[in-house]
């Protein structure tokens, strides 16, 4: 494992209690950062905190990222406990069920957008002002290859992730002169609990689209993110980094 120096940095990782988020948090801690894990599953948060190490290095907040008041309170709590927020990894998201667009339940469609896109906006909205005041920040928003290509029978998920890509580009331009780097990643599917929300037919479809012939490993995501949130990433902002196993064509 390449060693990235994140000592004296504090990171917020949303959706950090499991899967990709937990892997990213573990890599950041291994690189010397302290981490605040945000997730709506209190039980999994407790398990994750014990796995990473309790106390000063890791703190947890049970929140729904689509709740503005909850995000604001969690931001204040992280700053009070750790003194600052240098890094945001906006990873929390849901897949939603698989339906054609015209059969997609409207309430569920809105829920996917609220968590996957509005949630990223709310986290950036709450944390970026603090980064502007300190003159430093690194943000990685977790989008998806579906946000570039649009997966059939996953219009809500695809639209939400396309929105994350555009949001990243806008925010990257707005903060480019403030020593704040804002980038996003577009991973192909990784075998995590998000698969529980998908049909087997959709899972098979996603695998068939990956030229490497396998799903993404969560540690492959955290390796890329560790560099993107480091001080070494001093120029790139508003960019999209693919983890698609060859699927991406642009």
Q: Rounded distance, CA 41 to CA 62, Å? A: 7
Give, rounded to a whole angstrom, the gap between the first and last alpha carbons of the chain: 29
| DSSP letter (8 states) at residue 3 | P
- Which two three-digit tokens encode residue 43? 């039980």
Judge residue 2's burial from the number of C-beta atoms within 10 Å of its C-beta, 0-12 exposed, 13-18 middle, 19 or more buried: exposed
Nearest CA to 139 out of 71, 85, 88 is that of 88
Q: Rounded distance, CA 220 to CA 223, Å? A: 5
Which of 104, 136, 157, 250 is an active site residue? 157
- Which two three-digit tokens encode residue 242? 């693919």
Angle at 164 between CA 163 and CA 167, to 5 degrees: 85
Q: Rounded distance, CA 109 to CA 87, Å? A: 29
| DSSP letter (8 states) at residue 101 | G
Our answer to whether residue 104 is catalytic in this structure is no
Catalytic residues: 157
């Amino acid at each position: 494992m390449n060693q990235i120096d994140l000592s004296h940095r504090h990171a917020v990782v949303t959706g950090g209690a499991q899967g990709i988020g937990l892997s990213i948090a573990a890599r950041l801690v291994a690189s010397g950062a302290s981490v605040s894990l945000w997730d709506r599953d209190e039980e999994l948060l407790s398990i994750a905190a014990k796995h990473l190490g309790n106390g000063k290095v890791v703190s947890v907040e049970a929140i729904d990222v689509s709740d503005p008041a909850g995000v604001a309170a969690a931001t204040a709590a992280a700053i009070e406990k750790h003194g600052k927020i240098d890094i945001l990894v906006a990873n929390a998201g849901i897949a939603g069920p698989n339906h054609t667009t015209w059969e997609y339940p409207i309430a569920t469609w809105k829920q996917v957008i609220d968590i996957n896109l509005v949630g990223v906006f709310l986290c950036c909205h709450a944390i970026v002002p603090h980064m502007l005041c300190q003159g430093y920040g690194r943000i990685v928003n977790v989008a998806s290859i579906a946000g570039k290509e649009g997966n059939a029978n996953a219009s809500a998920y695809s639209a939400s992730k396309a929105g994350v890509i555009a949001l990243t580009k806008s925010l990257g331009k707005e903060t480019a002169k403030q020593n704040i780097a804002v980038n996003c990643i577009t991973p192909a599917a990784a075998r995590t609990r998000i698969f529980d929300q998908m049909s087997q037919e959709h899972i098979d479809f996603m695998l068939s689209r990956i030229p490497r012939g396998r799903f993404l490993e969560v540690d492959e995501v955290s390796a890329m993110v560790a560099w993107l949130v480091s001080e070494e990433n001093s120029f790139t902002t508003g960019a999209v980094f693919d983890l698609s196993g060859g699927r991406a064509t642009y």
